Amino acid sequence: MKPVTLIGVVAMIVALALYSIGAWGAFRAKKVSRRNVMWILGGLVFDVLGTVMMFITAGNRFLWEAPHTWAALVAFFGMLAAGVVGLWALNAGKDETLAKLSRWVLAPWTLWAAVFVWGMVQSPKG
């Protein structure tokens, strides 16, 4: 395995762990906390790092024809939205929004986890 691919895989595993801690922690607490948001934002950093490494592995191109790519983008932006809305709601003192977000955050997390597994089992293309 090329080093760039290994870095990408490790970064995605770290992203999954951080996203999971943040999303499930918020869900179990029934309210998003600053700590949950920080876990999610940390996951975003490693998600971007892993995506860049996979981009390099794929020959510096996105595989737009692959459904995996589109699902990954939707999952990424869902987690980004959870982080941004969570940060905004915390800073604005919107407790009702934080409670609703704690239930909603599992939707993009579930898609992200499914895309993670999908990416691990699919055979590599060109």
pLDDT digits (tens, 9 = 90+) for 62-71: 777 777 788 9
Q: According to the model, what pLDDT value does residue 124 have?
A: 59
- In a domain, residue 30? The reply is yes
Q: Is residue 31 part of a domain?
A: yes
Q: Please tell me the predicted confidence (pLDDT) of residue 36.
A: 98
Choose among 105, 107, 81, 113: nearest CA to 30.
Answer: 105
Question: Quick check: 97 and 89 in contact, CB under 8 A?
Answer: yes
The pLDDT of residue 65 is 75
pLDDT at 77: 97
Q: Could you give the number of structural domains in the chain?
A: 1
In this prediction, residue 55 carries a pLDDT of 87
How do residues 82-105 score in pLDDT, each as one tens digit? 999 999 999 999 999 999 999 999
Question: Domain for residue 126, yes or no?
Answer: no
Identify the domain containing residue 97 by its residue range. 3-121
| Cβ-proximal residues to 8 (8 Å cutoff; 6+ apart), any chain | 49, 50, 51, 52, 53, 54, 56, 57
Q: Which residues of the chain have pLDDT under 50?
A: 126
